[in-house]
Amino acid sequence: MNDQNAIGTYSAENRSFEPSPAFVSRARIASRAQYDALYKESVESPETFWKRETSDLVFDTPWSALSEWKPPHAKWFIGARLNVSQSCLDRHLTTATRDKAAIIWESEPGETLTLTYAALHEKVVAFTAALRTLGVRKGDRVAIYMGMVPEAVIGMLACARIGAPHTVVFGGFAAESLRDRINDCGAKVVLTQDGALRRGNVVPLKATVDRAVETIETVEKVVVLRRLGAEAGSQLRAGRDIDWYDAVAAADPAQGHAEIVDGEHPLFILYTSGSTGKPKGVLHTTAGYLAGTHLTTKYVFDLQDDDVYWCTADVGWITGHSYLVYGPLSNGATCVLYEGAPNQPDWGRFWQIIEKHRVTVLYTAPTAIRAFIRQGNDWPAKSDLSSLRLLGSVGEPINPEAWMWYREHVGKNRCPIVDTWWQTETGAIMLTTLPGASFTKPGSTGLPFFGVRAEVVTQEGQKVPTGEGGLLVLKQPWPSMLRTIYGDDERYREQYWTEIPGAYFTGDGARQDADGYFHVVGRIDDVLNVSGHRIGTAEIESALVAHPAVAEAAAVGRPDDLKGQALVVFVTLKPNQPATPDLKKRLAEHVANEIGKFARPDSVRFAESLPKTRSGKIMRRLLKDIAAGIETKGDVSTLEDLNVLAQLREE
Ligand code: PRX
């Protein structure tokens, strides 16, 4: 271990950094011994641990038993009755938090809107009444397809208040993907906005909703926020569409109450990519998810009452759910919500926002950090970043160079960095360092959070020796774990609980070092992580084969300095289809139109055939090597036709 200003002689991976005495003196968990004791309690006496640690949340009826585990199905906080929105809002109304800012919204053009906890509560109550008046009841599903505006958060909390599970669909998804998700969960109402502002352009969300819901019978109402102003005029379809604030004005104000639900009542469904087939509707429930996000936010971000906390994730992803909405609001934190792109109007925007709002905690993604590095050190240097005290990273492995840049140029060698590993499925952070408790290392996600038993194992479930690579598993259920895949219990069981005996399989590869710190290297299944966006190769492939020119397709990831992974697709064409550069462009465009622009392939390569085993399975690892331009070291003896490799290399 080195002191916090260590420089130079080590390669970045070997360095470690202790938190400064100033940070430790205020930290909630201020020593390794304190972490160790709490961790021990969390796994050995979980009842005592969770009782105390959730005592500030609002339960209408307390739980009678902590959990029930009938593999692979877990229940937590048995018998508890509550409503999540009361812990996020109502409970703050009787304390000084009432008049504290809950959301500081920064629009892309630069306006600021601040909502105190009292104001946010009022808006959520009003919109709850609006949704109830439109017929939304406990158990109904509501889809939310919006940009980064306060109403997106208000919509989520209003759904929670009714007990109507929301499914937020990232605004970058195309109509087809939106339709699949609305259809899969049978949403009754869709919340959207006329358009979102992104890099100075308008993203026409309402028009996409119109296309998506055309053929969907379950959708009864579309509620439209006029973000661009009434004059920008999105067309409201009579009988189906209603203006957001007209719906509020027309509502019965008595309908804004919180419905008390069982602790295992579904809170939301969030679709994510798996290694096969269509996206999975990851289902999270009420009490366990709230407990997990509440506790991790408090301890991982070491929340203090005067913090101004900024999580840059979009509400459409799990990070936006857990660390933009439920975790911070249940802790009474002040959250910055930024509407736009990091480089609008220029690459100084993030740093100006930090200076303007005196942000103290910043939680962002490695891909953003790498993009900033490319723009040079001058941008962060132009703004006053002295308010920052803690930095976080999430979504993909952070390379040590990016970690060091983040530390030096953003944190000014003063702020600890928490590298947090978790997934849509885990609901909350699973691996991290607690910033005041222990040293951090570039490229390591640290130790398990309370109640988490993580291990690196072989395919047979045997723990691998220290320092060796293996599969990352979680050995026991935890409160914020997914409960199932919506409508598909069998897929849930198969996907997560059958691969490795007796454990939840994460899909990630990892190793644990001599300090017990985890190093997560990334997915080892057919899931890609492109700029922190999780993309299933199967989804890309099925979009491609739906194109009339395509016979067969295989999608793989190629290491990329900026995006982590770039998306490369190999395509064989149907007979008589000319393999032109123009067709490559059209195929890339086709994927963007079918799934979303973030899934546009970086490279399309034509192939006469794809490398397959004799049983017809595409040999992806060979394609990965070809995409990366490296010599294949692996075994090719099972390859059906060796010529295929030579042809692919030539192309
Ligand atoms: O591969 C891991 C990677 O992101 C995957 C989960 O993606 P998603 O469900 O979209 O959730 C992202 C936000 C939590 C994981 O299986 N991942 C996430 N965080 C890290 C990470 N890889 C390395 N280090 C991390 N800190």
Three-state SS sequence of 334-356: EEEEECCCCCCCCCCHHHHHHHH
Tokens (6 digits) for 485: 């895949």
Q: Whose CA is nearest to atom 21 of ligand 1?
A: 396
How many angstroms is it from 534 CA to the middle of ligand 1?
8
CATH class of domain segment(s) 88-99+117-267: alpha beta
CA distance 628 to 278: 27
Whole-number pLDDT of residue 644? 81
Tokens (6 digits) for 370: 């790498």
Q: Which atom of ligand 1 is nearest to the CA of 420?
A: 26
Whole-number pLDDT of residue 545? 94
Number of helices (H), then strands (E), in the chain:
21, 32
Q: Whose CA is nearest to atom 12 of ligand 1?
A: 395
Q: Is 395 in the pocket of ligand 1 (CB under 6 A)?
A: yes
CA distance 364 to 176: 29
Tell which one of 367, 370, 520, 539 to mutate to probe ligand 1, the residue whose CB is within 8 A of the most ligand atoms.
Answer: 520
CA distance 411 to 406: 6
| Kind of pairing between the strands at 166-168 and 142-145 | parallel
Give the three-class secondary structure for 332.
Answer: coil
DSSP conformation class of 301: T
CA distance 22 to 390: 12
Whole-number pLDDT of residue 634? 74
How many angstroms is it from 274 CA to the middle of ligand 1?
13
Domain map of the chain by residue range? 88-99+117-267, 444-525, 530-650
* Measured CA distances, 591 to 203, 207, 543, 574, 628 (Å): 18, 19, 6, 18, 21
Whole-number pLDDT of residue 351? 98
Tokens (6 digits) for 613: 């085993």
Q: Which atom of ligand 1 is nearest to the CA of 397?
A: 23
Give the three-class secondary structure for 81.
Answer: strand
Return the CATH number of the domain spanning residue range 530-650. Answer: 3.30.300.30
Tokens (6 digits) for 589: 């465009």
DSSP conformation class of 409: I
Whole-number pLDDT of residue 472? 98
Q: Whose CA is nearest to atom 22 of ligand 1?
A: 396
How many angstroms is it from 396 CA to the middle of ligand 1?
5
Q: Is 285 in the pocket of ligand 1 (CB under 6 A)?
A: no
Q: Is 529 in the pocket of ligand 1 (CB under 6 A)?
A: yes
CA distance 579 to 392: 45
How many angstroms is it from 372 CA to the middle of ligand 1?
20
Residue 579: count other Cβ atoms within 10 Å of its Cβ: 15
% of the chain at pLDDT higher than 90: 88
Whole-number pLDDT of residue 363? 98
Q: Whose CA is nearest to atom 26 of ligand 1?
A: 421
How many angstroms is it from 391 CA to the middle of ligand 1?
17
How many angstroms is it from 422 CA to the middle of ligand 1?
5
Entry pTM? 0.95
CA distance 385 to 405: 14
Whole-number pLDDT of residue 13? 61
Residue 104 phi/psi, 5-degree rounding, is -110, 110
Q: Which of 171, 173, 210 is CA-nearest to residue 339?
A: 171
* Measured CA distances, 286 to 52, 60, 648 (Å): 18, 13, 50
CA distance 512 to 455: 8
How many angstroms is it from 603 CA to the middle of ligand 1?
24
Whole-number pLDDT of residue 636? 79
Q: Which residues are paired to 471 by β-bridges?
A: 457, 509
CA distance 428 to 290: 9
On the question of a cis peptide bond just before residue 345, with omega within 30 degrees of 0, the verdict is yes
Q: Is 397 in the pocket of ligand 1 (CB under 6 A)?
A: yes
How many angstroms is it from 230 CA to the middle of ligand 1?
39
Tell which one of 293, 474, 534 to mutate to probe ligand 1, the residue whose CB is within 8 A of the most ligand atoms.
Answer: 534
Q: Which atom of ligand 1 is nearest to the CA of 533?
A: 10
Residues 6+ apart with CB under 8 A from 215: 179
Tell which one of 270, 363, 396 to mutate to probe ligand 1, the residue whose CB is within 8 A of the most ligand atoms.
Answer: 396
Q: Whose CA is nearest to atom 25 of ligand 1?
A: 421
Q: Whose CA is nearest to atom 10 of ligand 1?
A: 534
In residues, how long is the chain?
651
- Say which CATH superfamily domain 444-525 falls into: Luciferase; Domain 3 (2.30.38.10)
CA distance 262 to 60: 10
How many angstroms is it from 371 CA to the middle of ligand 1?
18
Whole-number pLDDT of residue 491? 95
How many angstroms is it from 291 CA to the middle of ligand 1?
20
Residues of the chain whose pLDDT is less than 50?
1-11
Q: Is 16 in the pocket of ligand 1 (CB under 6 A)?
A: no
Q: Whose CA is nearest to atom 24 of ligand 1?
A: 397
How many angstroms is it from 508 CA to the middle of ligand 1?
9
Tell which one of 173, 315, 394, 449 to mutate to probe ligand 1, the residue whose CB is within 8 A of the most ligand atoms.
Answer: 394
CA distance 190 to 519: 40
How many angstroms is it from 17 CA to the middle of ligand 1?
23
Q: Is 367 in the pocket of ligand 1 (CB under 6 A)?
A: no
User: HSE-up of 189 (CA within 13 Å, CB side)?
Assistant: 29
Whole-number pLDDT of residue 645? 78
Q: Is 97 in the pocket of ligand 1 (CB under 6 A)?
A: no
Q: Is 426 in the pocket of ligand 1 (CB under 6 A)?
A: no
Q: Which residues are paired to 417 by β-bridges?
A: 391
Q: Is 565 in the pocket of ligand 1 (CB under 6 A)?
A: no
